[in-house]
């Protein structure tokens, strides 16, 4: 009887271990499949961003050629071509070294300054605590900056200003990017656009959703309407929390 009890206990423990191992295997297999799906969807989203950026940029090129003298238009096209080459290089990769990201955003803002006939002033700050080889998601801040330029600065009659800054978060696993403009605000640029989400912003939101799943962190995008004491629009502040890859 004692021997039979021992055998029963051993078999029960073995069955329990087998069940646990099988459960772990199934969960790991499911997680791997989810990661493959997320990777595939993120690649698709990055691919969608490419033509979106090219379409908006080509509109800017055409407008610049029509409005500017030959010399200015030629300079704009040459710089635009260099920017496009970088976009094509970056779009196939999930991450980008933040030093390259900052350099690319500077080039983009320089180009937009030419397009807006020097009506745009901008600043870009990088937290000194962020190491230059730190990797963040590719081309994830540009659509937000573009949105600020088109819908915030574009309708403004006075000079426009954009401030972009990158900060290392206390967890040292994520970076906060803040994009602040002095544009007309989200609710005054066009009453018909209330509740509208641009294609670039939609893609960014979907990418952040997938990044949150993949890196098991809260990547998010948050809008803050800037107003004076009377409630008049002073611009928009966008906060992006990004994982360090």
DSSP letters for 170-205: TTSSEEEEEEEE-SS-TTTS-GGGTT---HHHHHHH
* pTM flag (> 0.85): no
Q: What is the pLDDT of residue 239?
A: 94
DSSP 64-116: HHHHS-HHHHHHHHHHHHHHHHHHHHHTT-SEEEHHHHHHHHHHHHHHHHHHT
Give the CA-trace dihedral at 226, 234, 128, 136, to 10 degrees: 70
Residues in the chain predicted with pLDDT less than 70, given as ranges, are 1-14, 16-70, 73, 91-92, 187-200
Q: What is the pLDDT of residue 30?
A: 58
Contact 131, 168 (CB under 8 A): no
Contact 175, 166 (CB under 8 A): yes
Q: What is the pLDDT of residue 48?
A: 47
Q: What is the pLDDT of residue 189?
A: 46
Write out pLDDT tens, residues 180-222: 999 888 765 444 444 445 666 777 777 888 777 777 778 888 8
Cross-strand pairs, 124: 164
């Amino acid at each position: 009887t004692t021997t039979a009890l021992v055998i029963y206990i051993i078999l029960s423990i073995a069955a329990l271990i087998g069940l646990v191992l099988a459960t772990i295997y199934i969960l790991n297999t499911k997680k791997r499949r989810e990661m493959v799906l997320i990777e595939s969807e993120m690649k698709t989203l990055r691919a969608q961003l490419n033509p979106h950026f090219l379409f908006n940029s080509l509109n800017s090129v055409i407008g610049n050629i029509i409005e500017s003298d030959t010399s200015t238009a030629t300079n704009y096209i040459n710089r635009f071509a260099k920017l496009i080459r970088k976009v094509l290089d970056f779009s196939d990769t999930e991450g980008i070294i933040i030093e390259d990201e900052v350099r690319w955003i500077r080039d983009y803002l320089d180009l937009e300054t030419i397009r807006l006939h020097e009506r745009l002033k901008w600043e870009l700050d990088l937290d000194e605590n962020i190491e230059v080889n730190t990797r963040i998601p590719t081309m994830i801040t540009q659509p937000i900056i573009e949105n600020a330029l088109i819908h915030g600065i574009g309708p403004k009659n006075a000079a426009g200003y954009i401030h972009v800054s990158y900060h290392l978060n206390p967890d040292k696993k994520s970076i906060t990017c803040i994009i602040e403009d002095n544009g007309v605000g989200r609710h005054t640029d066009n009453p018909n656009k209330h509740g509208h989400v641009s294609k670039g912003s939609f893609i960014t939101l979907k990418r952040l959703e997938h990044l949150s799943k993949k890196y098991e962190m809260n990547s998010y995008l948050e809008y803050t309407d800037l107003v004076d004491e009377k409630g008049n629009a002073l611009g928009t502040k966008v906060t992006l929390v990004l994982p360090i890859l």
